[in-house]
Amino acid sequence: MMTDAVTFRGVSRHFGTVKAVDEVDLSIRDGEFFAMLGPSGSGKTTCLRLIAGFEQPTAGHIEIFGERAVGVPPYLRNVNTVFQNYALFPHMNVRDNVAFGLRVKGVGKAERHRAAEEALELVELGGYANRRSGELSGGQRQRVALARALVNKPRVLLLDEPLGALDLKLREQMQEELRKLQRALGLTFVFVTHDQDEALSMADRVAVFADGKIQQVGTAEDIYRRPDTRFVADFVGSSNVLPADLVGVGASGQWISLRPEDVVLDPAGREATVTGRYFHGRVTKLSLDLAGQSLTALIPAREDAPDVGETTKISWDPARVHVMEQGA
Amino acid sequence: MSDLSSNAAIFAPRSGPLARTVDWIIRHPRMFVFLMVLPITLWLGIVYIGALIALLIQSFFSIDEFSGIIVREVTLKTYGELLRPYNLDIIVRTVGMAAAVTITAAIVAFPIAYFAARYAKGKWKALFYIGVMLPLWSSYLVKVYAWKLVLAKEGILNWVFAKLHLTWLLDGLLSTPVIGGNSLSVSYIGTFLVFLYIWLPYMIIPVQASLERVSKDLTEAASDLGATPKQSFRMVLFPLALPGVVAGSIFTFSLTLGDYIVPQIVGNSRLFIGQAVYTQQGTAGNIPLAAAFTVVPIVIMGIYLWGARKMGAFDAL
């Protein structure tokens, strides 16, 4: 059996009465792109800091490649972090920033500079070695932070909302590059984000966090199509969470998840009242009232979408309805 | 344009001297700034810089050794006098003391400032500020005299050493040539301790301000990249806090350099620059030599500030 890159067993990190991370079990496989997704304060960043060693758990065991990590300080872990605000050293140029990890390990000047240049090539910042971090754009700083981490050849790379500060276009470009880089290097990436699109499009597997606990771990498809909890259904893709009785799937008392894009306008369907209509470009979002339950539908944008106050008829493919294990 | 009533609704009519003044200021922002800066510029220019220039000129005059009358002719004779061994000793002694006080203050202040910047929150931070600033609110003279009593042979410090059976240690320290003496209150060690106490807040505050601006992420990043705590202090924290240390050292160094009260109350009879200026212009009546002595700290501080600016010390003020 292959050793997992990171294993959490019953890990908790409490700050006084605040349970930032509460009895989390988790295993991250070697070489996978693993995303931790959740709203702010859900414990995902604390989990990342536990892996990096900036925080120590108040309870539980953490293993990195089978070795006990509890009590090991960050500088003795073969794990590197790309910080949310990049945390580049302002008193050093780009080369010295990237070479820092090698310098503290005692690698000679010529060799560490060569390695730094190589790492900068990897992130396509070849000619920038002599620049100061203050002279770089956000996207370039991001790449320097990445090169600074990768130059140490970590076995696990931790990324704390690394794309949060970038504008949309740059973010999409970096998403693609990060994914390529991860495949090319075969490294384990642990990626923290609150952006569900980012998590779903990039990661091999996603863990959804809420209130210090993991709600669900699975592939993007799993998370999206088959959410375990109401929280996951709602947070990832704003699904409609409805009582099973209303939809006619599953047993009474259970809850189902129905994706807004799976709701279609259908003259042979059930009657619903339109309570809101929002134009989003490619799609139009309709807020509907179906027998007293509110429901959202995303329909292809058309001129004749029903307006507020009108009644329309809707239906859905019962195969798309997912009965959740935990209704609460 | 014909419909004036709608305009009037947006811009209410203004009248009265205050409104007109405000309107004038809004239209002439540069003129306003000039008027604001003028008084302070005049004060600095005439009273401060002017006095310094007058002093500088005095130092190029000399004194007639028989009559004691100032000869108003430009000469370097007074500077020649300044460089005599006795006077040179005073300069070396003062600069040495200022350097020792500054270096020690930096070493003592750093951990205090670090704690305040990194760990103190809420009421602990308030307590830190009060603890550091409170001594500055009491009279300087009271503090110096209090120290004289603390350091005296019959003082509390001697008593504590005796109770701990450590009198031999204190005696050993006081028997050190040059810096020792009969008791702490008449030795350079005593002078040094008082200077250190009095100027310490001026070191703590700028160092704390500069540490406050070193984000926690940077030391975490260093640690993440494999730097031991020692390495991350040496390669990240200290270089980034250095401007604050230099800014603080400007205070401690220049304040020690110019002080004439502390060495007069706590210390032996050998003079410091401040005391030399005091005696030369007072009892000795040798204004040119007093002026020449005053030029020494100005020159030293000039060189010091130039070096400090190169290190980016003024970014932390």
Per-residue pLDDT for chain A (328 aa), expressed as one digit of tens each? 578 999 999 999 999 899 999 999 999 999 999 999 999 889 999 999 999 999 999 999 999 999 999 999 999 999 999 998 899 999 899 999 999 999 999 999 999 999 999 999 988 888 899 998 888 988 899 999 999 999 999 999 999 988 887 888 888 888 888 999 899 988 999 999 998 888 998 999 999 999 999 999 999 988 988 888 888 988 888 888 888 888 777 777 788 888 999 998 888 888 899 999 998 888 899 999 988 888 999 988 877 788 888 889 999 888 888 888 764 4
Compare all CA atoms of chain B with the CA of A52 and give the residue at the minimum distance.
Answer: B224
Q: Which of A188, A223, A189, A226 is nearest to A209 (CA)?
A: A223
Residue A133's pLDDT is 85
Q: Which amino acid is at B102?
A: T
Q: Is A189 helix (H, G, I), strand (E, B) or coil?
A: strand
Q: Check: pTM over 0.90? Answer yes or no.
A: no
Q: Which amino acid is at B133?
A: M
Q: Is A87 on the interface with B (CB under 8 A)?
A: yes
Q: Which amino acid is at A96?
A: D
| Residues A91, B231: C-beta atoms closer than 8 Å | no
**Is A251 exposed, middle or buried (CB count within 10 Å of its CB: 0-12, 13-18, 19+)?**
exposed
Instruction: Give the count of beta carbons closer than 10 Å to the beta carbon of residue A110.
Output: 8
Residue B9's pLDDT is 61
Q: Is A137 on the interface with B (CB under 8 A)?
A: no
Tell me the CA distances in angstroms from A288 to A310, B73, B304, one per residue in order.
Answer: 10, 100, 74
Q: Is B228 helix (H, G, I), strand (E, B) or coil?
A: coil
φ and ψ at residue A207, rounded to 5 degrees: -110, 125
- Cα distance from A309 to chain B (closest Cα, Å)? 40
φ and ψ at residue B201, rounded to 5 degrees: -55, -35
Q: Is A85 on the interface with B (CB under 8 A)?
A: yes
φ and ψ at residue A239, rounded to 5 degrees: -70, 160
User: At how many degrees (to 10) do helices B188-212 and B238-258 cross?
Assistant: 140
- Is there a contact between A324 and A255 (Cβ–Cβ < 8 Å)? yes
φ and ψ at residue B304, rounded to 5 degrees: -60, -45
Q: Is A97 on the interface with B (CB under 8 A)?
A: no
Q: In B, which residues are within 8 Å of A85 by CB distance? A: 215, 217
Q: In B, which residues are within 8 Å of A100 by CB distance? A: 222, 225, 227, 235
Residue A236's pLDDT is 87
Q: Most B CBs within 10 Å: which of A56, A75, A151, as the mutation test of the B interface? A: A75
Q: Mean of the per-residue pLDDT values for chain B?
A: 88
As a whole number of angstroms, the distance between CA B244 and CA B241 comes to 5
| Residues B220, A87: C-beta atoms closer than 8 Å | yes
Q: Is B315 on the interface with A (CB under 8 A)?
A: no
- Cα distance from B126 to chain A (closest Cα, Å)? 22
Tell me the CA distances in angstroms from B42 to A273, B35, B37, B56, one per residue in order.
Answer: 77, 11, 9, 20
Residue A173's pLDDT is 86
In this predicted model, what pLDDT tens digit does every residue of B253-294 receive, in sequence order?
999 998 999 999 998 888 999 999 888 888 778 889 999 999
- Is there a contact between A214 and A26 (Cβ–Cβ < 8 Å)? yes
| Residues B226, A104: C-beta atoms closer than 8 Å | yes
Residue-wise burial string across A180-198, b where 16 or more C-beta atoms lie within 10 A, e elsewhere: ebbeeeebbbbbbbbbbeb
Alpha helical stretches, state H, chain A: 44-52, 94-104, 109-122, 138-150, 168-185, 196-202, 220-225, 230-235, 244-247
Q: Is B233 on the interface with A (CB under 8 A)?
A: no
Q: Is B122 on the interface with A (CB under 8 A)?
A: no
Residue B8's pLDDT is 53
Alpha helical stretches, state H, A70-137: 94-104, 109-122
List the beta bridge partners of residue A264: A315
In this predicted model, what pLDDT tens digit does every residue of B114-133 receive, in sequence order?
999 988 888 999 999 999 98
Angle of CA points A71, A8, A326, to nearest 5°: 145
Q: Which of A35, A32, A85 is nearest to A197 (CA)?
A: A35
Residue A326's pLDDT is 60
Residue B7's pLDDT is 53
Instruction: Give the count of beta carbons closer than 10 Å to the beta carbon of residue B225.
Output: 30
Q: Is B311 on the interface with A (CB under 8 A)?
A: no
- Is there a contact between B61 and B71 (Cβ–Cβ < 8 Å)? yes
Locate B250 and state its tokens: 């400007």
| Unique residue bearing structure tokens 């240690």 | B169
Instruction: Give the count of beta carbons closer than 10 Å to the beta carbon of residue B202.
Output: 21
Q: Is pLDDT at B104 greater than 90 in this prediction?
A: yes
- Is there a contact between A162 and A36 (Cβ–Cβ < 8 Å)? no
Residue A325's pLDDT is 73
Determine what percent of chain B is predicted with pLDDT higher than 70: 94
| Residues A83, B227: C-beta atoms closer than 8 Å | no
CB pairs under 8 A between A and B: 63
Q: In B, which residues are within 8 Å of A74 by CB distance? A: 220, 223-224
- Is there a contact between B293 and B273 (Cβ–Cβ < 8 Å)? yes
From B218, B225, B236, residue closest to A101, measured CB to CB: B225
- Is there a contact between A88 and A100 (Cβ–Cβ < 8 Å)? no
Q: Which amino acid is at B56?
A: L
- Cα distance from A142 to chain B (closest Cα, Å)? 14
Instruction: Give the count of beta carbons closer than 10 Å to the beta carbon of residue B172.
Output: 11
From B218, B227, B228, residue closest to A87, measured CB to CB: B218
Q: Which of B273, B248, B250, B279 is nearest to B96 (CA)?
A: B273
Q: Is B29 helix (H, G, I), strand (E, B) or coil?
A: helix
Q: Is B101 on the interface with A (CB under 8 A)?
A: no
Residue B313's pLDDT is 64
From A54, A85, A152, residue closest to B225, measured CB to CB: A152
Q: Is A15 on the interface with B (CB under 8 A)?
A: no
| Residues B223, A80: C-beta atoms closer than 8 Å | no
Compare all CA atoms of chain A with the CA of B241 and give the residue at the minimum distance.
Answer: A91
B169-191: average pLDDT: 86
List the beta bridge partners of residue A323: A256
Instruction: Give the count of beta carbons closer than 10 Å to the beta carbon of residue B92.
Output: 10
The radius of gyration of chain B's CA atoms, rounded to the nearest angstrom, is: 27
Q: Provide the terminal-to-terminal Cα distance of chain B, rounded to the nearest Å.
A: 53
- Cα distance from B222 to chain A (closest Cα, Å)? 8
Locate B16 and state its tokens: 């009265």
**What's chain A's length in residues?**
328
* H helix count then E strand count, chain B: 17, 2
Q: Is pLDDT at B157 greater than 50 in this prediction?
A: yes
Q: Most A CBs within 10 Å: which of B216, B217, B225, as the mutation test of the A interface? A: B225
**Higher-pLDDT residue of B17, B2:** B17
Q: Which amino acid is at A117?
A: E
| Residues B221, A83: C-beta atoms closer than 8 Å | yes
> Residues B52, B56, B57, B59: is their CA dihedral positive or negative?
positive
Q: Is B268 on the interface with A (CB under 8 A)?
A: no
As a whole number of angstroms, the distance between CA B143 and CA B156 comes to 15
Residue A212's pLDDT is 92
Q: Is A60 helix (H, G, I), strand (E, B) or coil?
A: strand
Q: Is B239 on the interface with A (CB under 8 A)?
A: yes
In this predicted model, what pLDDT tens digit does every residue of B286-316 receive, in sequence order?
889 999 999 999 999 999 889 888 876 666 5
B209-213: average pLDDT: 91
Q: Provide the terminal-to-terminal Cα distance of chain A, rounded to the nearest Å.
A: 36
* H helix count then E strand count, chain A: 9, 17
Q: In A, which residues are within 8 Å of B231 by CB distance? A: 104
Q: Is A162 on the interface with B (CB under 8 A)?
A: no
